[in-house]
């Protein structure tokens, strides 16, 4: 059984209307068309964004290029930029209820979680502001009496930032403040399903004192607006978070002009659990890892790799714990699993479950969409007896679906963990230090959690191995990623003529 929180109708709701932010001004898109967003939990239109065109994207890129080339932002001191970013952080904190509400009703995520994400985002803006003041290069005073080498870090230029729908405000906050701290200008395209909070961020940045043209925000589809942002010659770098499929397309597009790319893509993250683990802690983390954000999470712990000796017991306990998870109205503070982003995506999740069951997996919990009178919801689902070659064991389901596999030896666990194309994150559970560290060193993933799962900190780099991406966000790497390296090779005194005399 699943505990259901039936959604209440949004009464007296006023649809929010948004424009584009180009060169410091709020403008309509050139097509006059708009995109309507329905709340996934309530089935009614809540936001209306401009359906921008390629021409709008190009105007935004031109504004970002001008702002970069005239130096209004990149020639400020690090301290000046940092102060503006700190002001932005305070304004985000002040408007965090409004931003969390928008993320909640546009994406279907629970309101309590959306508020926590806003808290995390404020911390990232503050952290990026601090890093911006400390961005520096290197010097070489060891190259001989006549030579001094200085390695500068310079802002890379105009950055296209393209984000997905699953963490609308958090993901733009993992990119934009670092790009700004480095001195870059940006064109930002949020997902066409969840653009609201990114557009409010535009208001905040203007109020904080970010000069016109430094941040431009265009809304619309990937094909119409995103693609031009990845090919345009005036763009120096593309920072993309989304599916591996579109990530590959983005890299191919960017290759036409050899832009730098930073890609945060999909994951199919294993949690490996040994018999000596603290099982009560693990059971809760397994449920959290699989169902957090309705499983619509690149970091979802969607593959459990359990030691055969404890598998039956652990699956039964996870099923019992899953039954306590409250599913339903994203606006209810009790809800832990909200709505699924679109009806089409719900059908895709359901298809994965049906195919797995047909292929021999057991449904140990849930297994079906839930009918709550409005919106679209999926029951937390456990699939056991999953084989490593099944689609649910290898592909990103992006729903609250946990696939359980088993192992006997540590080597086998590592082999199963590493047997797929993704390498974003992984968890290992054991009280034995050697076991944790061996798994930590042998599993090919950008983050390994030991006796915990999906904890994060602004200081810790995040990103993927293999087809989970290229580059790292957060941590020091984040700001450095948005820079070019320039060598100043300086000669002291007269240069001896030695080459042709």
Catalytic residues: 264, 298
* 172 in contact with ligand NAD (CB under 6 A): no
Query: How far is 225 from 246, CA to CA, in rounded Å?
Result: 13
Gap between the Cα atoms of 426 and 466, Å rounded: 13
265 class by beta-carbon count within 10 Å (0-12 exposed, 13-18 middle, 19+ buried): buried
Single out the residue of 341, 360, 355 nearest to residue 400, CA to CA.
341
Question: Residue 368 CB, nearest distance to ligand NAD (Å)?
Answer: 23
Nearest residue to the partner ligand NAD, using Cβ: 222
Contact between 192 and ligand NAD per CB under 6 A = yes
C-beta of 72 vs 243, nearer to ligand NAD: 243
Q: Of residues 189, 260, 268, 365, which one binds ligand NAD by CB under 6 A?
A: 189
Give the one residue of 19, 31, 112, 243 binding ligand NAD; rule: CB under 6 A: 243
**302/304 Cα distance (integer angstroms):** 7
Torsion from C-alpha of 396, 398, 402, 407, nearest 10 degrees: 20
> What values do phi and psi take at 39, rounded to 5?
-65, 125
Q: Binding of ligand NAD at residue 217 (CB under 6 A)?
A: no
Considering the rule CB under 6 A, would residue 265 count as an interface residue with ligand NAD?
Answer: yes
One residue of 64, 100, 187, 227 binding ligand NAD per CB under 6 A: 227
With binding defined as CB under 6 A, does residue 264 bind ligand NAD? yes
Burial environment of residue 412 by CB neighbours within 10 A (0 to 12, 13 to 18, 19 or more): middle
Q: Which residue has the tokens 């039936």?
A: 6
Of the two residues 293 and 364, which places its CB atom closer to ligand NAD in the complex? 293
Interface with ligand NAD includes 423 (CB under 6 A)?
no
Binding span for ligand NAD by CB under 6 A among 70-78, 126-134, 237-245, 301-309: 237-245
The answer to the question of residue 165 lying near ligand NAD (CB under 6 A) is yes
CB of residue 183 to ligand NAD, shortest distance in Å: 24
H-helix or E-strand spanning residue 118 = helix 111-133
Residue among 196, 213, 226, 338 that touches ligand NAD (CB under 6 A): 226
Q: Which residues contact 496 (CB under 8 A, 6 or more apart)?
A: none
- Residue nearer to ligand NAD on the CB measure, 125 or 167: 167
Among 158, 156, 154, 179, which Cα is nearest to 232's? Answer: 158
Q: In sequence order, which residues have a C-beta less than 8 Å from that of residue 436 and are 6 or more positions away?
A: 428, 430, 450, 451
Residue 113 near ligand NAD by CB under 6 A = no
Contact between 168 and ligand NAD by CB under 6 A: the answer reads no
Of 76-84, 159-167, 304-312, 428-436, the window that binds ligand NAD (rule: CB under 6 A) is 159-167
Query: How many beta carbons lie within 10 A of that of residue 238, not counting itself?
Result: 25
As measured in angstroms, the least distance from the Cβ of 166 to ligand NAD is 5
Is 363 within 8 Å of 374 (Cβ atoms)? Answer: no
Residues 347-406 that bind ligand NAD (CB under 6 A): 396, 398
Q: Is 241 in the site for ligand NAD (CB under 6 A)?
A: yes
In three-state secondary structure terms, 398 is: coil
Cα(321)–Cα(91) distance, integer angstroms? 39
Contact positions with ligand NAD (CB under 6 A) in 269-308: 298
Listed residue (273, 263, 278, 270) closest to 303, CA to CA: 270
Please state the closest distance from residue 271 (CB atom) to ligand NAD, in A.
Answer: 17
Nearer of residues 213 and 242 to ligand NAD, judged by Cβ: 242
Among 22, 424, 426, 439, binds ligand NAD (CB under 6 A): 424
- Interface with ligand NAD (CB under 6 A): 162-167, 171, 189, 191-192, 221-223, 226-227, 230, 241-243, 246, 249-250, 264-267, 298, 396, 398, 424, 464, 469
């Amino acid at each position: 059984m699943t505990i259901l929180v039936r959604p209440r109708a949004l009464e007296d709701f006023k649809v929010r209307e948004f424009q584009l932010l180009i060169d410091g001004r709020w403008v309509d898109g050139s097509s006059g068309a708009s995109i309507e967003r329905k709340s996934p939990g309530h089935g009614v239109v809540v936001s209306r964004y401009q359906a921008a065109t390629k021409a709008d994207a190009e105007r935004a890129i031109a504004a970002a290029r001008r702002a970069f080339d005239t130096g209004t932002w990149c020639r400020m001191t690090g301290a000046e930029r940092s102060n503006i970013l700190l002001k932005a952080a305070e304004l985000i904190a002040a408007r965090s209820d409004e931003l969390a509400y928008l993320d909640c009703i546009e994406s279907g995520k629970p309101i309590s979680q959306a508020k926590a994400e806003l808290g995390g985002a404020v911390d990232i803006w503050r952290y990026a502001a601090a890093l911006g003041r400390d961005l520096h290069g290197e010097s070489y005073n060891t190259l001989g009496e006549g030579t001094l080498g200085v390695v500068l870090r310079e802002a890379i230029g105009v950055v296209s930032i393209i984000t997905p729908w699953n963490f609308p405000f958090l993901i733009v906050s993992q990119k934009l403040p670092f790009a700004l701290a480095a001195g870059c200008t940006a064109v930002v395209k949020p997902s066409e399903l969840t653009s609201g909070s990114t557009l409010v961020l535009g208001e905040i940045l203007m109020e904080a004192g970010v000069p016109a043209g430094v941040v431009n925000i265009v809304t619309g589809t990937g094909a119409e607006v995103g693609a031009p942002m990845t090919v345009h010659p005036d763009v120096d770098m593309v920072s993309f978070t989304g599916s591996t499929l579109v990530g590959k397309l983005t890299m191919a597009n960017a290759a036409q002009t050899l832009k730098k790319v930073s890609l945060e893509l999909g994951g199919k993250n294993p949690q490996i659990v040994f018999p000596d683990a603290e099982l009560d802690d693990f059971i809760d983390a397994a449920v959290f890892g699989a169902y957090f954000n309705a499983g619509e999470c690149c970091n979802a712990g969607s593959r459990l790799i359990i030691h055969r000796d404890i598998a039956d017991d652990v699956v039964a306990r996870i099923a019992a714990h899953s039954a306590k998870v409250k599913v339903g109205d994203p606006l209810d503070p009790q809800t832990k699993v909200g709505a699924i982003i679109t009806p089409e995506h719900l059908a895709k999740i359901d298809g994965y479950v049906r195919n797995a069951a047909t292929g021999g997996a057991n449904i140990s919990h849930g297994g079906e969409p839930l009918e709550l009178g409005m919106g679209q919801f999926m029951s937390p689902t456990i699939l056991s007896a999953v084989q490593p070659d099944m689609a649910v064991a290898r592909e990103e389901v992006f729903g609250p679906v946990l696939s359980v596999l088993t192992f006997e030896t540590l080597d086998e666990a590592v082999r199963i963990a590493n047997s797929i194309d993704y390498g974003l994150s992984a968890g290992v559970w054991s009280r034995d230090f050697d076991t944790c560290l061996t798994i930590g060193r042998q599993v090919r993933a950008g983050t390994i959690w030991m006796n915990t799962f999906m904890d994060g900190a602004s200081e810790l780099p995040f990103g993927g191995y293999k087809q989970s991406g290229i580059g790292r966000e957060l941590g020091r790497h984040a700001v450095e990623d948005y820079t070019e390296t320039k060598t100043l090779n300086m000669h002291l005194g007269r240069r001896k003529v030695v080459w042709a005399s």
